[in-house]
Amino acid sequence: MSFAELLNVHERLNELFLLHQESLLRFDFELAAGLLRIYDRELRAHMRVEEDLLMPVYERAGKIAGGPPEFFIGEHRRMLEFLERFAVTLGALKGKGGDPARRVIRLLDEEAKFKSLCEHHDMRERNIFFPALDRVTNEDERRELIGRCFAANSQLE
């Protein structure tokens, strides 16, 4: 068993975000906002287990080039700031009349920046965070920690 299993959670998150973007393209702003709220909740739950449960274990690995804990946590914060801005923009989109096409394009442009931050973050976890966690844990501990990470997200359903 490997912490790379958690890439399944990333995939599920990416899928949810795409569903949100699909509803934006259809100008269904109620649905887009609802999906963004679900995504926000799931992303926060995932970040919480990474920061509270996994980060203390990761720190056993000592200093790792390109992977100090502040990098991961700083990226989490930046991702959440993006999501707060999207929620505000979406709220305004719902209220305004007229042709929303340009405003949707502007939001999608911002969301593209968010997606590239997520990609960068996922890559850092795939290449640095998860392999280090694999190195500093034994099979039993890995199984227990990974199970708790999945449980944090499945409780939301």
Q: Which residues bind Fe ion (CB under 5 A)?
A: 50, 125
**Whole-number minimum distance, CB 79 to Fe ion, in Å?**
8
DSSP-assigned letter for residue 156: T
**Whole-number minimum distance, CB 36 to Fe ion, in Å?**
18
**Whole-number minimum distance, CB 72 to Fe ion, in Å?**
6
Nearer of residues 103 and 134 to Fe ion, judged by Cβ: 134
Nearer of residues 42 and 125 to Fe ion, judged by Cβ: 125
Nearer of residues 25 and 123 to Fe ion, judged by Cβ: 123
Nearer of residues 5 and 103 to Fe ion, judged by Cβ: 5
3 state SS for 10-71: HHHHHHHHHHHHHHHHCCCHHHHHHHHHHHHHHHHHHHHHHHHHHHHHHHHHCCCCCCCHHH
**Whole-number minimum distance, CB 145 to Fe ion, in Å?**
13
User: From its phi and psi, is residue 64 left (phi > 0), alpha (psi between -120 and 50) or beta?
Assistant: beta
